[in-house]
Amino acid sequence: MTKTLALIHTSATLVPVFQDLTNKYLADKNLKIFNISDDSLIKNTIERGKLTPDTSKRVVNLITSAEEAGADFILVTCSSIGAAVETATTLVDVPVLRVDQPMADKAVQMGKKIGVVATLPTTLEPTSDLVQRRAIVAGKEIQLTSKLCEGAFDALMSGKPEVHDEKVAAALKELAQQVDVILLAQASMARVVGQLAEADKKVPIITSPELAVQHLATVL
């Protein structure tokens, strides 16, 4: 029987990213896949500095809409709206996954000292909170170090990706001296890992998109 997977994004740029990942990991699952994208969700969250009730309500509405459209499973690909995703799980009858949960679970498994890096406080805070809560679920004590790359996101948005990459790389090098594993709270930072010298990759650095789709492959 064919199942339907809905992907909900806050940026259309993530559609091809997840298309490649679903082609790689879910090609044998006999799935129908559809995408919903609304970048005003993340723009409003960044502008207001937090996930507000009205934006949360709209996230929930998108998730319920995906269920009504026939989704058997829903993946929400933005970490900044994770709290609203968790609210929606109580209001629909199909499984809903926030993209960073498999990453958080893996980090908790991999080490006690965990680092989280982000270029936006609106992403850093919910991801850090999720890691702490998933550690409690796993019954494990952790030491969490959160690192915000000040100015990196603005540099990226203003057409200076090299400045963004330098700031993220510096944060990764610093954290690698302090922790057992590093989480990248935003997939946009992943390319920086490939730019690091091998000597600077002292600990595993993990990202959410691939781990989320790998998780789907095990549950679908």
End residue of a domain, out of 65, 99, 133 = 99
Distances (CA, A) of 178 to 30, 31, 111, 135, 143: 43, 42, 12, 19, 10
**Is residue 28 one of the residues assigned to a domain?**
yes
Q: What is the pLDDT along the chain (220 residues), one digit of tens a residue?
A: 899 999 999 988 889 989 999 999 999 988 999 999 999 999 999 999 999 999 999 999 999 999 999 999 999 999 999 999 999 999 999 999 999 999 999 999 999 999 999 999 999 999 999 999 999 999 999 999 999 999 988 888 888 989 999 999 999 999 999 999 999 998 778 778 888 888 778 899 999 999 999 999 999 8
**Is residue 220 one of the residues assigned to a domain?**
no
> What sign results for the dihedral spanned by CA atoms 45, 50, 54, 59?
positive
94 and 112 together in one domain = no
66 and 109 together in one domain = no
128 and 190 together in one domain = yes
107 and 94 together in one domain = no
pLDDT at 112: 96
176 and 191 together in one domain = yes
pLDDT at 85: 95
Q: What is the pTM of this model?
A: 0.91
End residue of a domain, out of 73, 99, 125 = 99
116 and 195 together in one domain = yes
Amino acid at 128: S
**Is residue 27 one of the residues assigned to a domain?**
yes
End residue of a domain, out of 53, 72, 99 = 99
115 and 160 together in one domain = yes
> What sign results for the dihedral spanned by CA atoms 15, 20, 23, 29?
negative
56 and 117 together in one domain = no
Q: For residue 149, give the 3-state DSSP assignment.
A: coil
Q: What CATH number does residue 7 fall under?
A: 3.40.50.1860
22 and 105 together in one domain = no
Query: Which contiguous run of DSSP H or E holds residue 182?
Result: strand 181-184
DSSP 79: G
Q: Which two tokens stand for residue 60?
A: 């929930």
The count of structural domains within the chain is: 2
User: How far apart are the C-alpha atoms of 83 and 98, rounded to whole Å?
Assistant: 9
Range(s) of the domain holding residue 51? 3-99
